[in-house]
Amino acid sequence: MDNTHSFHIEDLGKPKFKSPLQLSTVRGDNIFNFVSESDKLVFDISLDQYNKCLSDGEEPQCLEKAGPRQNIFFDPKEATAAIVTCGGLCPGINNVIRGVVMGLHYFYGIKRIIGIPYGYEGLNPEIGHGFVELTPDKVKDIHQFGGTFLGSSRGGQDVGVMVDTLEANGVNMLFAIGGDGTLKGVNAIGEEIEKRGAKISVVGIPKTIDNDIDLIDESFGFETAFDVASPIIRDAHNEAAGAYNGISIVKLMGRDSGFIAASAALAMPVVNFVLIPEMDFQLEGELGFLGVLQKRLKRKKHAVIVVAEGAGQQLFQGQERIKDASGNIKHADIGLFLKEKIGSYFKDANIPVTIKYIDPSYIVRSAPANSRDSVYCSRLAYHAVHGAMAGKTKFVACKVNNKFVYIPISEVTKKRKKINLESEFWFSVLQSTGQPFLLK
Amino acid sequence: MDNTHSFHIEDLGKPKFKSPLQLSTVRGDNIFNFVSESDKLVFDISLDQYNKCLSDGEEPQCLEKAGPRQNIFFDPKEATAAIVTCGGLCPGINNVIRGVVMGLHYFYGIKRIIGIPYGYEGLNPEIGHGFVELTPDKVKDIHQFGGTFLGSSRGGQDVGVMVDTLEANGVNMLFAIGGDGTLKGVNAIGEEIEKRGAKISVVGIPKTIDNDIDLIDESFGFETAFDVASPIIRDAHNEAAGAYNGISIVKLMGRDSGFIAASAALAMPVVNFVLIPEMDFQLEGELGFLGVLQKRLKRKKHAVIVVAEGAGQQLFQGQERIKDASGNIKHADIGLFLKEKIGSYFKDANIPVTIKYIDPSYIVRSAPANSRDSVYCSRLAYHAVHGAMAGKTKFVACKVNNKFVYIPISEVTKKRKKINLESEFWFSVLQSTGQPFLLK
Amino acid sequence: MDNTHSFHIEDLGKPKFKSPLQLSTVRGDNIFNFVSESDKLVFDISLDQYNKCLSDGEEPQCLEKAGPRQNIFFDPKEATAAIVTCGGLCPGINNVIRGVVMGLHYFYGIKRIIGIPYGYEGLNPEIGHGFVELTPDKVKDIHQFGGTFLGSSRGGQDVGVMVDTLEANGVNMLFAIGGDGTLKGVNAIGEEIEKRGAKISVVGIPKTIDNDIDLIDESFGFETAFDVASPIIRDAHNEAAGAYNGISIVKLMGRDSGFIAASAALAMPVVNFVLIPEMDFQLEGELGFLGVLQKRLKRKKHAVIVVAEGAGQQLFQGQERIKDASGNIKHADIGLFLKEKIGSYFKDANIPVTIKYIDPSYIVRSAPANSRDSVYCSRLAYHAVHGAMAGKTKFVACKVNNKFVYIPISEVTKKRKKINLESEFWFSVLQSTGQPFLLK
Amino acid sequence: MDNTHSFHIEDLGKPKFKSPLQLSTVRGDNIFNFVSESDKLVFDISLDQYNKCLSDGEEPQCLEKAGPRQNIFFDPKEATAAIVTCGGLCPGINNVIRGVVMGLHYFYGIKRIIGIPYGYEGLNPEIGHGFVELTPDKVKDIHQFGGTFLGSSRGGQDVGVMVDTLEANGVNMLFAIGGDGTLKGVNAIGEEIEKRGAKISVVGIPKTIDNDIDLIDESFGFETAFDVASPIIRDAHNEAAGAYNGISIVKLMGRDSGFIAASAALAMPVVNFVLIPEMDFQLEGELGFLGVLQKRLKRKKHAVIVVAEGAGQQLFQGQERIKDASGNIKHADIGLFLKEKIGSYFKDANIPVTIKYIDPSYIVRSAPANSRDSVYCSRLAYHAVHGAMAGKTKFVACKVNNKFVYIPISEVTKKRKKINLESEFWFSVLQSTGQPFLLK
């Protein structure tokens, strides 16, 4: 992130309509105030950074506050919105869909909201999925269900074709709910729109169960993910403790980042080892994972291991890799690999062990949002609506330092967020598990 | 089952002590009556069977009513009890342990209760697991946890060694919580005891997550199993419906019997196919599974399949089989097999599908008991205690026709219970899924 | 119950259409057989009763087996069905509605299914609630929600008016889901129909959260009720144990029967006292409740009390009573009464106590059905549909001795089911709580 | 809060021991760094505040970063710690107890940890509750239970007596888990200790289910509270929708602040009205609550109202008030009051309504912590331990702007936190419910 300039959110032009929201512009009347473009929040809140700016005579890196603007770009009486959900399932997608529909309908009186079925495929008329009309009545109960009401798919479609579809159907605002690839895709759509001189706002709502979108506090559904994973770890502990030298291995999501594994392990403090993609670790050697595991077993007669799916890829050097439909390199299966390695290690050492392997994957992905995520999804959706109606484009609605802000899509897709191994968060995981800082 | 004679429960000898329970022997005083040996219940309750007995002039097949006897065999002041849990985890084991301890302690004042750790291994002193003293205070909260407080193991130990251990430790009653193999094991222990002329009561409490113990209504933990599996099926449905031609496959427990798969599918009526070990089915052919699945996808664009782990073994003809530690033949993995076959079938047919495979196994096994199972476990445990104190031996405490009874272990281990494909139960599953009676 | 004759289910006339169900009439083909009128099940399964019948030369009391008949009364192409839900909420109502709609539509091809809104009020055109058309698509997800999709109301309407409405709308089958009053109401509707010579089948599906419908094993939703109540009792225990001399009082449903209170207490074995309507108990005196409670507190420093709402009415002698909309006498509030009495008793005794009062009522009533109840509701609904299509009338579909049967409505409404204080069930509750048989 | 100076945490003296934690002091070695006293975080992160400081030439208000210090005050080999839990139950107390014990034992090797039973009462030897020795083995499973392992009480004890007890038992660190009153109490203890020149660190861990501790992001247990309340609101909706003109009123905790009511309503977006203590509202008048409710019923036939227990106290003018054991003025019961007023209003208007009143109180208070709160509690506990070992005193460990910090107790007890009616948070609630900004 460039520390010297604040992020700039692009917009489609000067807002020309008065917001239909009956808000205030003064403090003290117990009525929420419209947010102005000058409402900004500091990104790096350490005193060091503050002093650095001070001595450099520069304004700190700032974020644009999210919320309803007094003047809006689209005419509520005529505007059409579209919603698309892409990529793998994640708790809360339906809550976001519901929130966007409710916000557009009730706050701004938008009459026509189009649901795009099955991800970006739905914007390619050749595939022929058609559209779904979205109304408050259709979406009012969907927050109680996991999954996505609209269906999803992985991978992209031709950008030109997708923009053709949006234009042909008179869409003014496109809300895309998805992860890194989806956000890059909707940004590309936004750029193509700009090139054509069209006036369509494109908004990203970051969705990644791995919580690996950069800059933002946390992505929706992530908390539910470790909330659902946590009792499964308790189960794994029951299995491990139920056998002499019982070992349970729980594989959790986390392609490049171990947030779910780490958070779930913290939430159910019966875990003895957390292995994440950010860590480099070895199996062999006295300080390697297997030796440390053996010492644990000797003391306690059971062990619980939580491993993120992307952990330990350094152990698969030289193996060929394949890509999935979204273009991500498929990881070798560290869970089954560990199960085998642990099994043969203890067999060689003539120590009887019982290993249970648990891979809850879809059980986590397709759960309904828990309460915090429900709150978060509604608010995210409302902010996405307010930003789009104001004519902003190519931005994500998100939360940073516990406040709702808008950030350009291009900023959050520069790299994936990872766990900092020197952070207080990872240290708290190690304090909870008692595992050493390094396993090599 | 021999229809002409009632089951006979063996006992260790004439009960010689007065029960410390303050119960009644008359009706109408609002105090429970001691159960007498003549309290019996008819096993087959169809009118046809009744009429058959009538015309044959024979008493119907009867079961012995469970409950406290007025005279007991063991002296509460001196008796020692032991509890062992064997085989795979199942919800409710801890509730049964707790119930047995509470019953022995509070109803009869038994002072010494030994917990045998890690299954039958714990009765082999050479392995050296030691014992655990069990008291009300130690077990009072364990019903809130899944797993087994005592630990478990698979497979048996030398019967002579185990009886030596029981005798050496002055054990008068052994409560064995386990499945088919465990029950056969404890019966063999009972026979060895008899051979030695010892006076140790052995009691089986049938535990099988598959619900495949013969004659009895249902085994404890089974209901919790499908209660836990049911929302996972809802998740599977979310995954299936979230993709165009989405197919979810959920593999559930059921080595030889499809009770969990069938019940879970009934409980969450979004399932389109249930495949169980009792069914013979083909994949190919117009009426085979794959063809019928294709028709379903064409109509509805998604499908949910629940498959019991022991289903479709006829499809693996000619493959070599291996055995597990309990001596059961290991099944070929029908879940992954189906996933592959479905994938290649639709690939050949040039129909895009998305397949999600879910194998919750340990998540189901290690859950805490739900409320009904908790009730059931406490009552089972109490009845096991009453039977043992009365000096009965080589029996299981169980429920038949909704009543608690005692049955000789040898009767319930003759064969495994299976779903009758012509029963109302299986028909209700087919009514719920809409799948054809035959898939071939 | 008259022991000398089997129950007789009335029917509208001779079935004249062939069932569209592709079932079998022979054993051994793995296809379910049509149920015949001669398939019967013995009601009282004790050997004593059996021998009594034998010596009297009489057939035992029998019940008619539920299930699809080979010949049906209504022409599936023309028949119209209606569903109504009455009285208070109970888990599983939506599952039953769903099951009836699915059964009528998919098994028999019924085209028109009318939802009657807000209970019997919906059959009174003057109130003007209108009708709801029910289709598989409308009801497919409702089983995941508690409450009733159709709305409900208490109390009855003029029978003539309701039959007028049914006739005017060409209804051939009326499914009424409700408790004692509702069942009596639908029976009266059936009698009025008969009087008019009309051919409308009326079917009751017993719904009572109190589980107090006579003769039947258990009513749907009851198990969910104590499944939901059980963790609330755990909470109550946390509250009690969290304070010195902490006392928690949980009031649960049970106007005239203590089934929920007793079952929930068994399910969460931290309860020290269960007070139910079937018990006569005193507060004062050495063996009265307060004295026994004091002894408990002295030993353990906390206590958990579960009280059914209808318990202890003998303590309110001489107070005036009022009736609710369903015509039931309103009970005095035993929960608050106990709270006051306990408070003043210990205040007088100068013993500091902390009392927490918990009344979960609607939280229990409006929960979605758990897995067992879901299974039960679907099967009940299917059997109700099969019976109605066969032209049977004025019957309930229910389960007795673990088998689905049809019983005349008039038989199950003769009296309310109560807990037998001398039964094994109540004894198991006392074994779990440790409370004395008598509290006076 | 004084904006010109950073908060100053007092300490007992110069740390003289080397921390036994094997941490780092340099970046880049993948090992967590000791936190130094100069690590600070800006409190107000708005750009406006930043610019104000800049133009005033002042450092912004800062908070001290929590975490382990390189040098510690107490000798781990000799130090004794004590833990006390006070006030009403709140999810997560046991997690905090567990975290403090684990942290003291495993991080610093503290041998003696005393559990003070039943709140401050436990520090008064005259009451005679004794102590509980706390070890990792005793607390390892308690996080799975709600309530408090140590017991609690309301109100305070003589400060001198409590300090006598601490001194007499050689306590070096006192961890007090409690709300506003408890924190003030432990601060007073800290002042008395200082007066005596003793060296005992006193640490507060803010516990308030109402989330009304000032300055901090959120108190532990609060999220679980609305997570537990949220499905109860869904139940309330089922009840409301299940009756014609059904109205459900759910009363939730919130003496002076409506955070739980507002958050639960946002989490389960079926709520139509949220009434909180921060709002002034009227019942009568066209824009009063009852009139607006009537309009809602006319349109939708049902309504769900969530009311915080402290809401609407302005409606009880002139009534006498009493105080509870903690010295708080007892609120008049707004829930029952609303129920009556709504009932009589619609009765007068001759509009039939059905009102259901739900007061889940203890069900919420005594739930076990959900996953996020579990994570939060462990980390809070660890930070409390690190601060105490460093010799800091009279501080709370807490989270501000999503970062763990230490704040002087005196700063967070100056006033209670309330919902700002002009905040984005409250606006999001109004957006979700659709209720007007003002109800008068």
The pLDDT score that the predictor gives to residue D294 is 98
A405 pLDDT band (50/70/90 cuts)?
very high
- Please tell me which of the candidates A232, A242, A367 has its beta carbon nearest to residue B147: A242
On chain C, the residues whose CB falls within 8 A of the CB of A141 are 141, 145
Residue environment code for B315-343, b if the CB has 16+ CB neighbours within 10 A, otherwise e: beeeeeeeeeebeeeebbebbeebbebbe
What is the interface size between A and B, counted as CB pairs within 8 Å? 93
| Rounded distance between C-alpha atoms, residue C31 and residue A280, angstroms | 59
Poorest-pLDDT segment among A32-46, B156-170, C300-314, D112-126 = A32-46
Q: What is the pLDDT of residues B256-277, one digit of tens each?
A: 999 999 999 999 999 999 999 9
- With an 8 Å Cβ cutoff, are C145 and A141 in contact? yes
Return the residue of B nearest to D138 by Cα.
B138
| 3-class DSSP assignment, residue B369 | coil
Out of D31, D402, D421, closest to residue A402 by CB? D402
Cα–Cα distance, D36 to D64 (Å, whole number): 9
In the beta sheet, which residues pair with residue C178? C206
Beta strands in C213-358 (DSSP E): 246-252, 273-275, 302-308, 354-358
Q: Is the predicted pLDDT of residue A391 greater than 80, yes or no?
A: yes
CA distance D104 to D256: 35
The per-residue pLDDT for A55 is 81
What count of other Cβ atoms lies within 10 Å of the Cβ of residue B47?
18
Please give the average per-residue pLDDT across A111-116, as a whole number.
97
Q: Are D150 and D132 spatial neighbours (Cβ–Cβ below 8 Å)?
A: yes
| Spatial contact of B260 and B212, defined as CB atoms under 8 Å apart | no
Q: What is the pLDDT of residue B3?
A: 45
Q: How far is CA D332 from the centre of its chain?
A: 23
The CA distance from D175 to A395, in Å, is 46
CATH no. for A222-312+323-367 = 3.40.50.460
C120: closest CA of chain B, how far (Å): 29
Buried b (16+ CB within 10 A) or exposed e, C10-23: ebbeebebebebeb
Query: Which of A91-100, A104-113, C220-229, C310-319 has the lowest average pLDDT?
Result: C310-319
Contact B145 A361 (CB under 8 A): no
Q: Where are the beta strands (DSSP E) in D167-287?
A: 173-178, 201-206, 246-252, 273-275
Whether the pLDDT of residue C324 is over 90: the answer is no
Q: Distance of CA C206 to CAs A117, C357, C375, Å?
A: 42, 31, 16
Reported as a single tens digit per residue, the pLDDT across B371-385 is 999 999 999 999 999
What is the helix (H) or strand (E) element at residue A300, kind and residue range?
helix A289-300
Tell me whether residues C428 and B378 touch, CB distance under 8 A. Answer: yes
Contacts of B433 (CB under 8 A, 6+ apart): B265, B269, B271, B272, B273, B274
What span, in angstroms and rounded, lies between the C-alpha atoms of D220 and D375? Answer: 10
Find, among C415, C408, C440, the residue nearest to C7 by Cα.
Answer: C408
Of B187, B174, B188, B181, which Cα lies nearest the Cα of B213?
B181
Q: What is the pLDDT of residue D36?
A: 94
> Greater confidence, B293 or B3?
B293
CA-nearest of A240, A418, A251, A261 to A334 is A251
Q: Which residue bears the tokens 């429970």?
A: B32
Residue B1 has pLDDT above 60, yes or no: no
- D288 in Cβ contact with D296 (< 8 Å): no
Q: How confident is the model at residue B49 (pLDDT cuts 50, 70, 90)?
A: confident
Name all chains with 3 or more CB-CB pairs below 8 Å to chain B.
Answer: A, C, D
Contact list, B250 vs chain A (CB under 8 Å): none
Is there a contact between C89 and D238 if contact means CB atoms under 8 Å apart?
Answer: yes
Using the Cα atoms of residue B24, residue B26, residue B27 and residue B29 in order, give the sign of their dihedral.
Answer: negative
**DSSP codes joined into one string, C143-196:** GGS-S-TT-B-SS---HHHHHHHHHHTT--EEEEEE-HHHHHHHHHHHHHHHHH
Testing the interface with D: which of C94, C152, C233, C235 to mutate, by most D Cβ within 10 A?
Answer: C235
> What is the chain B residue with the closest CA to A241?
B151
Is the torsion defined by CA of C219, C220, C225, C228 positive or negative? positive
Using the beta-carbon criterion (under 8 Å), do A145 and C144 form an inter-chain contact? yes
Catalytic residue (choose from A11, A29, A137, A210)? A210
So what's the pLDDT on residue B413?
97
Sign, Cα dihedral of A278, A284, A290, A295 = negative
Q: Do D10-218+369-413 and D222-312+323-367 fold alike per CATH?
A: yes
Contact C239 D145 (CB under 8 A): no
Q: Are strands A246-252 and D71-72 parallel, antiparallel or unpaired?
A: unpaired
Q: Is the pLDDT of residue C278 over 80?
A: yes
Name the token pair of A6: 């604040």
Dump pLDDT digits (tens) for A335-386. Answer: 999 999 999 999 999 999 999 999 999 999 999 999 999 999 999 999 999 9
CB contact under 8 A, B422 and C30: yes
Residue with tokens 């908390």: A223
CB atoms inside a 10 Å sphere around CB D21: 17
Q: Which residues of A381-419 are buried (b: 16+ CB within 10 A; e: fewer)?
A: bbbbbbbbbbbbbbbbbbbbbbbbbbbbbbbbbeebbeb
Nearest to B47 among C41, C217, C266 (CB): C41
Residue B56 has pLDDT above 70, yes or no: yes
CB contact under 8 A, D145 and B145: no
Please name the member of B27, B144, B403 whose beta carbon is closest to the beta carbon of C422: B27
Disruptive mutation site among C141, C142, C149 for chain A (greatest number of A CBs within 10 Å): C141
SS3 B193: helix
Could you give the 3-state DSSP secondary structure of residue C208?
A: coil
User: Which listed residue (C75, C210, C217, C373) is catalytic?
Assistant: C210
Quick one: residue C285, left, alpha or beta (phi over 0 = left, psi -120 to 50 = alpha)?
Answer: left
CB of D67 closer than 8 Å to CB of D388: no
- Chain C residues touching residue A145 (CB < 8 angstroms): 141, 144
Q: Are D108 and D100 in contact (CB under 8 A)?
A: no
What's the one-letter identity of residue B43? F
Contact D366 C241 (CB under 8 A): no
Per-residue model confidence (pLDDT) at position A276? 98
- In 3D space, the residue among C99, A276, C3, D132 whose CA is nearest the CA of residue B428 turns out to be C99
Q: Where are the domains of chain A?
A: 10-218+369-413, 222-312+323-367
Let me know if domain C10-218+369-413 sits in CATH 3.30.750.24. no
Q: Under a CB-based contact definition with an 8 Å cutoff, are residues C245 and C353 in contact?
A: yes
Residue closest to C353 by CA, chosen among C364, C365, C337, C341: C341
Distance from C-alpha of A372 to C-alpha of A379, rounded to nearest angstrom: 11
Give the mean model confidence (pLDDT) for residues C371-385.
Answer: 98
Amino acid at B291: G
Q: State the complex-level ipTM.
A: 0.94
Query: What's A99's DSSP letter?
Result: H
Residues of C in contact with D243 (CB under 8 A): 118, 151-153
| Cβ-based neighbours of A124, under 8 Å, separated by 6 or more | A157, A158, A161, A162, A165
For range A125-132, the mean pLDDT: 96
Collect all residues of chain C within an 8 Å Cβ-Cβ radius of residue B378: 266, 269, 428, 431-432
Q: Residue C3: pLDDT above 50?
A: no
Assess contact for C308 and C253: CB atoms under 8 A.
yes
Locate tokens 């299954």: which residue? B119
Q: Confidence band (pLDDT; 50, 70, 90) for C325?
A: low
Chain B nearest CA to A239, separation (Å)? 6
The encoded tokens of residue C300 equal 């353990």
Chain C interface, best mutation among A144, A149, A366, by max C CB count within 10 A: A144
> Rounded to the nearest 10 degrees, what angle do helices B371-389 and C259-267 cross at?
80
Q: What is the mean pLDDT of residues C17-36?
A: 96
Q: At C49, is the pLDDT very low, low, confident or very high (cuts 50, 70, 90)?
A: confident
Residue B238 parent element (H or E): helix B222-241
Tens digits of residue pLDDT in C342-353? 999 999 999 999
Q: How far apart are CA A84 and CA A189, in angstroms?
A: 13
- Region A26-48: what's the mean pLDDT? 90
Q: What is the mean pLDDT of chain C?
A: 94
- Rg over alpha carbons for chain B, rounded to the nearest Å, is 24
Single out the residue of C214, C210, C111, C177 nearest to residue C377, CA to CA. C177
Which residues of A are less than 8 Å from B117 in CB distance?
244
- Summarised one tens digit per residue, pLDDT across range A159-185 is 999 999 999 999 999 999 999 999 999
Distance between CA D308 and CA B384 in Å, rounded? Answer: 50
Q: How far apart are CA C143 and CA C378, in angstroms?
A: 10
Q: What is the C-alpha separation between D131 and D122, in angstroms, rounded?
A: 7
Q: Tell me, what amino acid is at B272?
A: N
pLDDT in tens, chain D (440 residues): 444 467 889 999 999 999 999 999 999 999 999 999 989 888 887 778 878 887 887 788 889 999 999 999 999 999 999 999 999 999 999 999 999 999 999 999 999 999 999 999 999 999 999 999 999 999 999 999 999 999 999 999 999 999 999 999 999 999 999 999 999 999 999 999 999 999 999 999 999 999 999 999 999 999 999 999 999 999 999 999 999 999 999 999 999 999 999 999 999 999 999 999 999 999 999 899 999 999 999 999 999 999 999 999 989 877 766 776 666 677 788 999 999 999 999 999 999 999 999 999 999 999 999 999 999 999 999 999 999 999 999 999 999 988 999 999 999 999 999 999 999 999 999 999 999 999 98
Report, as residue numbers or ranges, the catalytic residues of B: 210
> Tell me: the pLDDT tens digits for A278-298?
999 999 998 999 999 999 999
Q: Name the helix (H) or strand (E) containing A93.
A: helix A93-102
Task: List CB contacts (< 8 A) between D84 and chain C.
Answer: none
* pLDDT attached to residue A326: 65
Q: What residues in chain D have their Cβ under 8 A from chain C's Cβ atoms?
A: 89, 117-118, 121, 129, 145-148, 151-153, 232, 234-239, 241-244, 248, 356, 358-363, 365-367
Distance CA A426, CA A429 (A): 5
Tell me the binding residues of D: 88, 154-155, 179-182, 208-210, 253-255, 309, 362-365
Among C121, C147, C232, beta carbon nearest to D238 = C147
Chain A residues in contact with B367 by the CB 8 A cut-off are 235
Mutate to test the interface with C, among D244, D253, D305, D353 (most CBs of C within 10 A): D244
Q: Which of A66-80, B415-429, D55-69 has the lowest mean pLDDT?
A: D55-69
